[in-house]
């Protein structure tokens, strides 16, 4: 088996992808008024449509679900119309795109919340992290614990957002269950000290993740549903005492739903892969459909893991920012451009749609 295998078609649910390279979700804070995707976002995603699959930037399912300034939503008609321009542009280039559905939970600020209210969380424990608001990184606000009667509404918001995504032309959705956001907060005991049906035991802490995923799969079909998890990542001040047992259980239950894929951040999000002991092979063995490996992958590591049968697809994040033609560059063994960190969050076309492609395409 050679590295070219990465560039051959692969199945994902009912779809056939052009290659095994996935564009990971990347928050860029460039939505317009009303948190609506605009023409610039359509251009950005279309430039990267050679990925086998694009997973969109995290997109809030409600205003309550927002945690950073200028991130897009999927709960209004204007947002659906805006995203329709994005999916149309990607499909016109032959690409496939899923929308990542997001509720940040406690990783938010009162200035982003409806009527300046406190962010919500499983428990009233403030996260040791910052958020991006008013063009600056500031400490997150103190959250309040969700009442039991509010939780079905969260599930319904995810369900409605999934339906809206399909109406906007997406090929499917990814439930964001990673990186210290709401579903991850419920799953991990460092953020969840509840004593009701959503806290305490492994089964109870997994409940919201499983209820949300089941609702999404019921709404749009399991074959168009994926989920992202990060078992040991400390992102956004999250922690867990039992990640292996917790996520073995979650993945077993997800497998029973027959969803299209499991997207796993292996290690610390954007950081060391070996930050904590964890057997990712145990997750792969428990999940019968596609496994997407994420975090620190390059061509060499992805090729080796594919040859070993450890993953089906490989998600690349930041390399896609500065290299809209990343697939061609990897195929050609060409050097990769570096991203401009100063333009990563917010702004306009600079550092967003103005990164050049290779002078000579691979197949020219």
Domain ranges of the chain: 3-343
Residue 278: CB atoms within 10 Å: 18
Q: Rounded CA gap, 78 and 35, in Å?
A: 9
pLDDT of residue 3: 47
| Backbone phi and psi for residue 135, each to the nearest 5 degrees, phi listed first | 60, 30
Calculate what percentage of the chain has a pLDDT beyond 70: 98
181 is catalytic: yes
Q: What are the tens digits of pLDDT across the range 123-155?
A: 999 999 999 999 999 999 999 999 999 999 999
Question: What whole-number distance in Å separates Cα of residue 358 and Cα of residue 360?
Answer: 5
Q: Which of 103, 228, 223 is nearest to 172 (CA)?
A: 223
Q: What is the mean pLDDT of residues 114-124?
A: 97
Q: Catalytic residue among 44, 45, 68, 181, which?
A: 181
User: By C-alpha distance, which of 343, 342, 326, 324 is closest to 334?
Assistant: 326
The pLDDT value given to residue 2: 44
pLDDT tens readout for residues 30-65:
999 999 999 999 999 999 999 999 999 999 999 999
Average pLDDT on 166-189 reads 98
Coil/strand/helix, residue 302? helix
Residues 165, 226 contacting (CB under 8 angstroms): no
With residue 285 as reference, give the H or E element that holds it. helix 280-286
The band of 359, judged by pLDDT with boundaries at 50, 70 and 90, is confident
Q: Which residues contact 309 (CB under 8 A, 6 or more apart)?
A: none
The string of pLDDT tens digits covering residues 200-243 is 999 999 999 999 999 999 999 999 999 999 999 999 999 999 99
CATH of domain 3-343: 3.20.20.70
Query: Residue 149 is inside which H or E element, if any?
Result: none
The verdict on pTM exceeding 0.75 is yes
**60 has which bridge partners?**
73, 102
């Amino acid at each position: 088996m050679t590295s070219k295998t990465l560039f051959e078609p692969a199945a994902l649910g009912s779809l056939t992808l052009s290659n095994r390279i996935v564009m990971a979700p990347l928050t860029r804070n460039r939505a317009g008024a009303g948190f609506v995707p605009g023409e610039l976002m359509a251009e950005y995603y279309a430039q990267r449509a050679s990925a086998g699959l694009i997973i969109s930037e995290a997109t809030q399912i409600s205003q309550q679900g927002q945690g950073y300034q200028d991130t897009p939503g999927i709960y209004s008609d204007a947002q659906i119309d805006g995203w329709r321009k994005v999916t149309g542009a990607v499909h016109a280039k032959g690409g496939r795109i899923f929308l990542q559905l997001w509720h940040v939970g406690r990783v938010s600020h009162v200035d982003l919340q409806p009527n300046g209210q406190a962010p919500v969380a499983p428990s009233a424990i403030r996260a040791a992290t910052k958020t991006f608001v008013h063009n600056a990184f500031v400490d997150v606000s103190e959250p309040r614990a969700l009442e039991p009667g509010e939780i079905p509404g969260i599930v319904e918001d995810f369900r409605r957002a999934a339906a809206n995504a399909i109406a906007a032309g997406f090929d499917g959705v990814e439930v964001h269950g990673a990186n210290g956001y709401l579903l991850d907060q419920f799953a991990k005991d460092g953020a969840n000290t509840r004593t009701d049906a959503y806290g305490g035991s492994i089964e109870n802490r997994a409940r919201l993740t499983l209820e949300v995923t089941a609702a999404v799969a019921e709404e749009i079909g399991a074959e168009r549903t994926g989920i992202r998890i990060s078992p040991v990542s400390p992102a956004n001040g999250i922690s867990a005492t039992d990640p292996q047992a917790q996520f073995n259980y979650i993945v077993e239950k997800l497998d029973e739903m027959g969803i299209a894929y499991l997207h796993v951040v292996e290690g610390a999000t954007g950081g060391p892969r070996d930050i904590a002991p964890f057997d990712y092979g145990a997750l792969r063995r428990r999940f019968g459909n596609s496994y997407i490996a994420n975090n620190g992958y390059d061509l060499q590591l992805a090729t080796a893991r594919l040859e070993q049968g450890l993953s089906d697809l490989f998600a690349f994040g930041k390399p896609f920012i500065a290299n809209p033609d990343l697939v061609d560059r990897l195929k050609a063994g060409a050097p990769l451009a570096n991203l401009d960190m100063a333009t990563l969050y917010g702004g306009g076309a600079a550092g967003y749609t103005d990164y050049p492609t290779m002078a000579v395409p691979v197949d020219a």
